[in-house]
Structure formats: C-alpha cells, structure tokens
Structure 1
Amino acid sequence: MTQHQGTLRKMHTAADEDNLVHYTLPVGDELVAMNPLIGQKIVLSFEGQIACVHCGSKTKKSFNQGYCYRCLISLAQCDTCIIKPELCHYHQGTCREPQWGEAHCLTDHFVYLANTGTLKVGITRHVTDGISSRWMDQGATQALVMLRVKDRLTSGLVETAFKQHIADKTNWRTMLKGAPAEQDLHASMQALLKEIAPQLEQLSAQQGLQAIQPVEHSGHAIHYPVQHYPDKIKSINLDKTPAFEGELVGIKGQYWLLDGDRVINIRKYAGYKVTLSV
C-alpha cells in the first residue's frame, strides 16, 4: 500500500493530444497522478486539521474552498466580485488589493459557451489554442469561445446580458450523470448573439469600440477518464464522514467518482490535512 499525507489542493488538469483530461492531486508537497489510480481501491482519511490555502494558518472552518475567515474578508480573490464580475469595483478605487486587481482583472477575458450537461455561459482569462482549466474544472464536454473583452468588469456585464437567455452555473448533479448529448455550439452561439445584440451595442458604446470583439474559435470536445457514471448520486462530506474507501471509477470536473454511486468534490476540501492510501 502506498500512502500520501498532507494538505489537499484542487486537482491540476491538463489535456493530452486527444483532449483527454489528466489529473494530478497535490497532497502536501507531493503531486499524485490520479488517472493511473482509476480502477484501484483508494482510502482517504481526514486527519482533523485544516490550514488556510493562502496564509497557512490553522482554521476550524474553511471558507470559499480553503480560506480562513481573515483571508476571506481581506483578499481581493475572495471578494464578491470574483463570483459576480459585473460588480468589479476597481475603477471606484475600492479594490482590496489594487495590484492583484491590475494583474487579474484589468486584462483580456473571454466569454465562452460550454456543455456541462446543459448549455451554460461563462468567463475565463486563460484561452489560447488550448483547453481552459476552467472548462475542465467544470466538467465541460464541449466549449467554444464567443467573445474577447477588455477586462473583468466588461466580461461580467456581457455575461449578465447572456444570462437572460442561458444559465451561467454548472448543475454538478447533471454534469455527473453521464456524457451529455453533443450540442451544436456554433448555432447556439449565433442565436444567443442575435438575442443580445442590442445590449452588446450599448456596452460597446459605454466601454469603448474595441472593448468587445468576436473570436474565431473552432471549439473543443473534452473527454474525461470515467469508467462508470453514478446511477443515483450519493455525495461524500468529509466533515461528516472523515474516512472512506472504495474503487475509484472515474474523475470529472473536480469530482472523484467511486463505486456505490458515491462522489466527492475534492476542490471543496482544499486545505484539509488527509492521508491518501492506494
């Protein structure tokens, strides 16, 4: 039996040439390749300690997927505008960390369409010719970049216009029920852009003529290492069930899929000290 012990972080993702997602799990100072563990029995035990993913201090309760309360109320990356970018307030001079805001918010963002079981709109900073880690974290099986915008605030305003016609959240239960039917993302994009054309025109007038630009993007199909999807999802909560074992039958998004239709959101437990045994 091989053991790994330390604090958890969200799984790292990378897609190979066939667009199959490969997962690596940080456990303390170790990086554990997860794809080779699919089909094997694993045991995960929570050791009762939680450390903030930012400052490292011990905390009895984790907030916002890994932060202590002090970091939650002081870091720009934990502000409400990270979840709701249309509320970005850097231009008002009230950003918690202006330098962080300049590096992360005053840069190009991309508005995308994704299939996560149902179609959704979203934003990401990192899209080149590859697959955004955000798509893989959300368990998207298809993704298409629609627009490039000048900053985070503008991306949020554009996303808000789209949200009148399409969801902006991933239904994790739907995402884990199986491989969804393939969608014609280009046709959906054209229909959505037509619907919100007046709002985009108004935003361009407010934010600048070059603030919102269409993107030529062929789209991506994304595949996940899953042997079996759950028939009836049973979610594991480490706070209530501090140890579990079973066969790892797949990984999708940031979720482990285990035998017995059990699933666990690994990202939720960032900062938890655990022992992983294989």
Structure 2
Amino acid sequence: MSTNSLTGHVRKMTSKLIDGQVEYQLPLGEHSLPLNELIGKHLSLTHSGNINCQECGKKTKKSYSQGFCYPCMMKLAKCDMCIMKPETCHFEQGTCREPQWGEANCFVPHYVYLANTTAIKVGITRHTQIPTRWIDQGANQALPIFKVSTRLQSGLVETALAEFISDKTNWRNMLKGKADSIDLKARAEELIPQIEARLADIKLKYGEDAVERLNEEVVEIDFPVMQYPTKISSLSFDKSKKELEKEQDLTEKTLKTVSGTLMGIKGQYLYFDTGVINMRKFTSYEVTATY
C-alpha cells in the first residue's frame, strides 16, 4: 500500500461550512492536508521535537498561548489577557501593547451569540470569524443575538449574560456526541429582558447605537464524525511528567507519534480510534503527517 506524507509546522485547522457540513484542512507549513477524505483511514502524526514561534520563527522549548515563544507572548497584543477577557480591554488607558493592532482588531464589529455545545453558552466573535468561531468550539447550533461596535462592548454584554448561562464549553461532553437541539431563539427571548438594565448602561456610556439587537436565523452545524467515543482519552505530543522523569537525556531526535484510524473531527479535535488530540494546542509544532 502506497503512503503519502507532508511535513510542516502545525497551524489551527481551517474549516468551511458547506450546506451545514464542516470541511476541514490541517495546515502544515506551506502545505494543507484535506482531512474529511481521510476519515476511516489510517493517519500518523509525528512530532520532530522542533517548535518554532509562529510570530518570529525562533525555536522555543515550549509553546506559549498556542504557538508563540515566551518573548512574543509577553509583547503581542493578541496574547494579552484582554483577548480572553474582552471586558478588561485597557486601550482607553493608553496601555495597549500594540495600539495599531488593537484599532484594527478590537475596534471593529463584534457579535454576541448563543451556542449549543451540548449545553447553551454565550460567546463573542469578530464579524470576520463567523461561522469559524462556532465550528472551533464544536457548536452544533449558533445564533448571533447582538452586534456591537467594539470588542470591549461585546465583553460587557457577554459578562451580563454569563450571570445566567455559562460562557465556557465543557469540552469532554462536547466530544462525546452531537448536542441535543435547543430552541436558541426562545432562550434568547428569555435571557435578553434579564439584562436590559446592563444594556441601558452600556448604551448610556458608549452611545445608543453601541448595541444592536439582531433577528437572525439559527445556524446548524454538522461535524464529520463516524463514531463518538464513550470515554475521552487525550493524546499529546508532549511527554508526561512520568515520561520526563524516566529520561535523563532529552534530545531533539526524540519523536512523538499520534496515530490510528481517523474517526472524525469536531472543533479543533481529531478523533482517532486510540483517543482524541487538540491540534490547536500544538500550533507551531513541526509535524509529519503520513496517510
């Protein structure tokens, strides 16, 4: 049986939603590996031991903030805590790490949405990341409910809603199966009146047009999964603490391979018959895919 291989540094899996079905590709350096057609077939992913920062290209022993070296992680605005917690944006205080980056990425339309990832949750995303953000979270349904002017404002709306529903995804439950359908429109009608006072405060501070109520349709998302696991076993290119303790001489020649039959893809996870691996966690790792 003939085999093919591609080698390169991992980037976040790219996706397209076509007629409700997600199609995935795995970027490896300059290459891109179509994954849907490999479901049901054997796939091996071997890490060479090399990790190179996706920003500056320098070699790093450890990946920070999903693909950066420590110096870049500390200086880049995209790695600041306010990206995870947009309500803590400090641009107005003049302390943004990269003001031009902030203006281009944070002072653009954002959406506050409800999603179903086995339970209802609230989230935010830039206008350019719809529906990618929902796919990355493994959501089977999503509904944008507000459009706001800036990332900070989206964070303020999100935290208001997070008092009533979760703003986190239970990734283990998400990986175990397809979410039961939720009437997201009905839930939105229940939730929004509960945050009217908070919305009024935001509009008072930032202007009446800072928050726009939307009337969109629910987006349905179907992931390419042959079979969901009943138990989640995580796979990793990183050595466990126990493995590290056993080795006295760690060299760059050490290889770590994740392999098996590819059973499906959901979020940023690959399902093998041997376990699941979060590919986004290993952004900037040099990997050879053999298929």
Smaller-chain TM-score bracket: over 0.9
**Residue equivalent to 1:9:** 11
**Residue equivalent to 1:257:** 271
**Residue equivalent to 2:69:** 68
Q: Which amino acid aligns with 1:73?
A: M
Write out per-residue CA displacement over residues 178-223 of structure 1, whole angstroms, 9 at most, x where no aligned residue: 0111000001111110111111112111111110110120111001
Q: Does the residue aligned with 1:49 lie in a helix, a strand or coil? A: strand
**Residue equivalent to 2:247:** none
Tell me how far 1:127 sits from its aligned partner: 5.8
Contact preservation (8 Å) 2:52, 2:58: yes
- Percent of aligned positions that are identical: 49
**Residue equivalent to 2:47:** 46
Contact preservation (8 Å) 1:3, 1:276: yes
Contact preservation (8 Å) 2:17, 2:131: no
Q: Which amino acid aligns with 2:33?
A: V
Structure 2, gaps ≥5 residues long: 241-255
**Residue equivalent to 2:89:** 88
Contact preservation (8 Å) 2:112, 2:154: yes
For residues 107-126 of structure 1, the aligned pairs below 5 Å read: 107-126=108-127
Say if 2:282 is the partner of 1:269. yes
Write out per-residue CA displacement over residues 134-172 of structure 1, whole angstroms, 9 at most, x where no aligned residue: 000001000000001110111111111011001111111
For the residues of structure 1 that align with 2:56 and 2:258, how far apart are their CA atoms?
28
Q: Which amino acid aligns with 2:289?
A: L
Say if 2:118 is the partner of 1:105. no
For the residues of structure 1 that align with 2:133 and 2:113, how far apart are their CA atoms?
11
**Residue equivalent to 1:177:** 176
Tell me how far 1:110 sits from its aligned partner: 0.5
Q: Which amino acid aligns with 1:7?
A: H
Contact preservation (8 Å) 2:236, 2:258: no
For residues 91-240 of structure 1, the aligned pairs below 5 Å read: 91-126=92-127, 131-240=130-239
Q: Does the residue aligned with 2:127 lie in a helix, a strand or coil? A: coil
Deviant stretches of 4+, over 4 Å: none
Tell me how far 1:70 sits from its aligned partner: 0.5
For the residues of structure 2 that align with 1:54 and 1:136, how far apart are their CA atoms?
24
Q: Which amino acid aligns with 2:186?
A: A
Write out per-residue CA displacement over residues 71-90 of structure 1, whole angstroms, 9 at most, x where no aligned residue: 11000000000000001111
Tell me how far 1:117 sits from its aligned partner: 1.0
**TM-score normalised by length of structure 2:** 0.92
For the residues of structure 2 that align with 1:148 and 1:29, how far apart are their CA atoms?
35
For the residues of structure 1 that align with 2:79 and 2:97, how far apart are their CA atoms?
10
Q: Which amino acid aligns with 1:263?
A: V
Q: Which amino acid aligns with 2:265?
A: I
**Residue equivalent to 2:249:** none
Tell me how far 1:132 sits from its aligned partner: 1.5
For the residues of structure 2 that align with 1:199 and 1:212, how far apart are their CA atoms?
11
CA-based RMSD of the aligned residues comes to 1.1
Contact preservation (8 Å) 1:110, 1:127: no
Tell me how far 1:244 sits from its aligned partner: 2.2
Q: Does the residue aligned with 2:202 lie in a helix, a strand or coil? A: helix
Q: Does the residue aligned with 1:234 lie in a helix, a strand or coil? A: coil
**Residue equivalent to 2:250:** none
Tell me how far 1:240 sits from its aligned partner: 2.0
For the residues of structure 2 that align with 1:172 and 1:81, how far apart are their CA atoms?
22
